[in-house]
Amino acid sequence: MTPSGIDLNLGATLPAVFLALATTVLLLVDVFLPKERRHLTAWLAMGCIGVTFLLTLFTFNLQTTALSEMFIADNFTGFLNLIVLVSAAITILIGIDYMNRTGSARGEFWSLLLLSTSGVMFMASANDLVVVFVALELLSIPLYVMAAFRSNNPKSEESGMKYFILGAFASAFFVYGAALVYGATGTTNLSEIVTAVAGITASGGASLTYLVVGAGLIIVALGFKVAVVPFHMWTPDVYEGAPTPVTAFMSVGAKIGGFAALLRVLVTALPALVAGQSPDPVWMNTVMIIAALTMIVGNFVAVSQTNLKRMLAYSSIAHAGYILMAVAAAGNPLQADGAAQAALVYLLAYTFTNLGAFAVVSAIEKDDGTGTELTDLIGFARSKPLLAAMMVVFMFSLTGIPLTAGFTGKWFIFQSVIDAGLFPLAVVGVLTSVVSAYYYVRVIVNMYLTDGEGDPAAGATRYVNWAIYISFAGTLVLGLFPILASNLTQAVTLVALR
Amino acid sequence: MEMTGLSLLTVVLFLPMVGLTILMFMNEEKQRNAIRWTTFGFSIATFLLSLLLWALHDPANPGLQFVQRNDWLPTFGVSYYVGIDGLGLILVLLTTFIMPLAILFSFTSHIFEERGREKLYYIFMLLLEWAMIGVFVAQDLVIFYIFWEVTLVPMYFLVGIWGGDQRVYAAVKFFLYTMAGSILMLLAVLYVGGQAGTFAVPEIVAGVQAGTLVFPFDGLFSTQSFLFLGFLIAFAIKVPIFPFHSWLPDAHVQAPTAGSVILAGVLLKMGTYGIIRFCLPMFPEASVAWAPVVGVLGVIGIIYGAWVSYAQQDIKKLVAYSSVSHMGFVVIGIFALNAQGMQGAVLQMVNHGISTGGLFLLVGMLYERRHTKDINAYGGIWKALPFFGALSLIITLSSMGLPGLNGFVGEFTILLGTLGSDVLGITFALFATLGVILAAIYMLYMFQKVFLGELDKPENQHLHPMTWPEVTVLVVVVVMVFWIGVQPAIWFEMMDSSTNAIVDSVAQFTPQLTAMLR
B68, β-bridge pairs: B82
Query: Got the DSSP string for B233-300?
Result: HHHHHHTTPTTS-THHHHHHHHS-HHHHHHIIIIIHHHHHHHIIIIIHHHSHHHHHHHHHHHHHHHHH
| DSSP 8-state code for residue B60 | T
Percent helix, strand and coil across chain A, each rounded to 5?
75, 0, 25
Spell out which residues of chain B touch residue A419, defining contact as CB-CB under 8 Å.
194
- Whether B172 and A441 lie within 8 Å, measured CB to CB: yes
Chain Cα centroid distance, residue B220: 28
Residue B11: Cβ within 10 Å count: 17
Longest CA–CA span in chain A (Å) reads 74
Domain boundaries, chain A: 10-489
Q: How far is residue B494's CA from residue B222's CA, in Å, rounded to a whole number?
A: 36
- Whether the CB-CB separation of B94 and B262 falls below 8 Å is answered with no
- Calculate how close chain B gets to A402, using CA atoms only, in Å: 5
- Whether B145 and A431 lie within 8 Å, measured CB to CB: no
Residue of B175, B176, B186 lying closest to A414 (CB–CB): B186
Q: Is A445 on the interface with B (CB under 8 A)?
A: yes
Spell out which residues of chain B touch residue A438, defining contact as CB-CB under 8 Å.
172, 176
- Calculate how close chain B gets to A431, using CA atoms only, in Å: 7
Measured in degrees and rounded to the nearest 5, phi and psi for residue A254 equal -65, -35
Q: How far is residue B428's CA from residue B418's CA, in Å, rounded to a whole number?
A: 7
Residue A1: the pLDDT is 41
Spell out which residues of chain B touch residue A437, defining contact as CB-CB under 8 Å.
175-176, 179
A to B CB pairs, distance under 8 Å: 79
- Calculate how close chain A gets to B485, using CA atoms only, in Å: 39
Residue of B147, B180, B194 lying closest to A434 (CB–CB): B180
- Whether A411 and B191 lie within 8 Å, measured CB to CB: no
Question: B150, B190, B227: best mutation site toward chain A, by most A Cβ within 10 Å?
Answer: B190
Q: In Å, how far are A28, A172, B145, B323 from A118, measured between CA atoms?
A: 17, 21, 40, 60
Global pTM value: 0.94
Q: Please, what is the Cα angle at A352 between A346 and A356, to 5 degrees?
A: 140
Residue of A401, A415, A449 lying closest to B190 (CB–CB): A415
Q: Classify residue A2 as exposed, middle or buried by CB count within 10 Å of its CB (0-12, 13-18, 19+).
A: exposed
Residue A108: Cβ within 10 Å count: 17
Rg (CA), chain B: 22
Residues whose CB is less than 8 angstroms from the CB of residue A444 and which lie 6 or more positions away in sequence, other chains included: A391, A392, A395
Q: How far is residue A495's CA from residue B395's CA, in Å, rounded to a whole number?
A: 68
Spell out which residues of chain A touch residue B172, defining contact as CB-CB under 8 Å.
438, 441-442, 445
Q: Is A8 on the interface with B (CB under 8 A)?
A: no
Spell out which residues of chain A touch residue B194, defining contact as CB-CB under 8 Å.
415, 418-419
Cis before residue B243, ω within 30 degrees of 0? Answer: yes
Residue B3: the pLDDT is 61
- Calculate how close chain B gets to A396, using CA atoms only, in Å: 9
Nearest to A464 by CA among A248, A315, A312: A248
- Whether the CB-CB separation of B186 and B145 falls below 8 Å is answered with yes
- Whether the CB-CB separation of A465 and A391 falls below 8 Å is answered with no
Q: How far is residue B278's CA from residue B148's CA, in Å, rounded to a whole number?
A: 13
Residue of A402, A437, A449 lying closest to B168 (CB–CB): A449
Rg (CA), chain A: 22
What element of type H or E holds B57? none
Compute mean pLDDT per 10 residues along chain A, 498 residues long, and list them.
Answer: 62 92 92 84 94 94 87 92 96 92 87 95 94 94 93 88 93 95 92 89 86 94 92 93 94 94 91 80 92 96 93 95 95 90 95 96 89 89 90 95 94 94 93 93 90 78 94 96 91 79
Q: How far is residue B40's CA from residue B329's CA, in Å, rounded to a whole number?
A: 33
Query: Got the DSSP string for A202-267?
Result: HH-SHHHHHHHHHHHHHHHHHHHHHT-TTS-THHHHHHHHS-HHHHHHIIIIIHHHHHHHHIIIII
Q: Is A394 on the interface with B (CB under 8 A)?
A: no
Question: B142, B148, B167, B187: best mutation site toward chain A, by most A Cβ within 10 Å?
Answer: B187
- Calculate how close chain B gets to A81, using CA atoms only, in Å: 24
**C-beta contacts of B302-308 below 8 A and 24+ residues apart:** B302/B328, B302/B329, B302/B332, B302/B431, B302/B432, B302/B434, B302/B435, B303/B328, B303/B431, B303/B434, B303/B435, B303/B438, B304/B242, B305/B242, B305/B245, B305/B435, B306/B435, B306/B438, B306/B439, B306/B441, B306/B442, B307/B438
Please report, as a single letter, which amino acid is at residue B221: F
Spell out which residues of chain B touch residue A433, defining contact as CB-CB under 8 Å.
183
Q: How far is residue A145's CA from residue A104's CA, in Å, rounded to a whole number?
A: 12
Residue of A403, A430, A483 lying closest to B183 (CB–CB): A430
- Calculate how close chain A gets to B176, using CA atoms only, in Å: 6
Residue of B167, B179, B190 lying closest to A414 (CB–CB): B190
Q: How far apart are the first and last CA of chain B?
A: 42
- Whether the CB-CB separation of B183 and A433 falls below 8 Å is answered with yes
Domain boundaries, chain B: 8-517
- Whether B160 and A407 lie within 8 Å, measured CB to CB: no
Spell out which residues of chain B touch residue A430, defining contact as CB-CB under 8 Å.
183-184, 186-187
Residue of B145, B157, B160 lying closest to A402 (CB–CB): B145
Q: Is A431 on the interface with B (CB under 8 A)?
A: yes
- Calculate how close chain A gets to B171, using CA atoms only, in Å: 9
Residue B476: the pLDDT is 94
Q: Is A418 on the interface with B (CB under 8 A)?
A: yes
- Calculate how close chain B gets to A362, using CA atoms only, in Å: 26
Residues whose CB is less than 8 angstroms from the CB of residue B371 and which lie 6 or more positions away in sequence, other chains included: none
- Whether A411 and B194 lie within 8 Å, measured CB to CB: no
CA torsion, ordered B510, B515, B517, B518, to nearest 10 deg: 140
Q: How far is residue A4's CA from residue A241's CA, in Å, rounded to a whole number?
A: 51
- Whether A403 and B146 lie within 8 Å, measured CB to CB: yes
Residues whose CB is less than 8 angstroms from the CB of residue B134 and which lie 6 or more positions away in sequence, other chains included: B13, B82, B143, B144, B146, B147, B150
Question: B23, B135, B183: best mutation site toward chain A, by most A Cβ within 10 Å?
Answer: B183
Q: How far is residue A416's CA from residue A338's CA, in Å, rounded to a whole number?
A: 6
Nearest to A287 by CA among A343, A356, A207: A343
Nearest to A385 by CA among B174, B28, B183, B455: B28
Residue B2: the pLDDT is 56
Q: How far is residue B380's CA from residue B397's CA, in Å, rounded to a whole number?
A: 18
- Whether B179 and A483 lie within 8 Å, measured CB to CB: no
Spell out which residues of chain B touch residue A403, defining contact as CB-CB under 8 Å.
146, 150
Q: Is A29 on the interface with B (CB under 8 A)?
A: no
Q: Please, what is the Cα angle at B306 between B302 and B311, to 5 degrees?
A: 155
Q: Would strands A64-66 and A71-73 be described as parallel, antiparallel, or unpaired? A: antiparallel
Residues whose CB is less than 8 angstroms from the CB of residue B412 and which lie 6 or more positions away in sequence, other chains included: B344, B401
Q: How far is residue B481's CA from residue B357's CA, in Å, rounded to a whole number?
A: 11
Shortest CA distance from A434: residue in chain B: B180
Spell out which residues of chain B touch residue A344, defining contact as CB-CB under 8 Å.
none
Residue A3: the pLDDT is 43
Shortest CA distance from B143: residue in chain A: A402
Q: In Å, how far are A246, B133, B470, B492 from B358, measured between CA atoms?
A: 55, 21, 11, 22
Shortest CA distance from B74: residue in chain A: A483
Residue B386: Cβ within 10 Å count: 11
Q: Is A383 on the interface with B (CB under 8 A)?
A: no
- Calculate how close chain B gets to A277, using CA atoms only, in Å: 25
- Whether B168 and A486 lie within 8 Å, measured CB to CB: no
The residues of chain B scoring below 50 in pLDDT are 518
Q: Is A389 on the interface with B (CB under 8 A)?
A: no
- Calculate how close chain A gets to B504, using CA atoms only, in Å: 31
- Whether A418 and B190 lie within 8 Å, measured CB to CB: yes
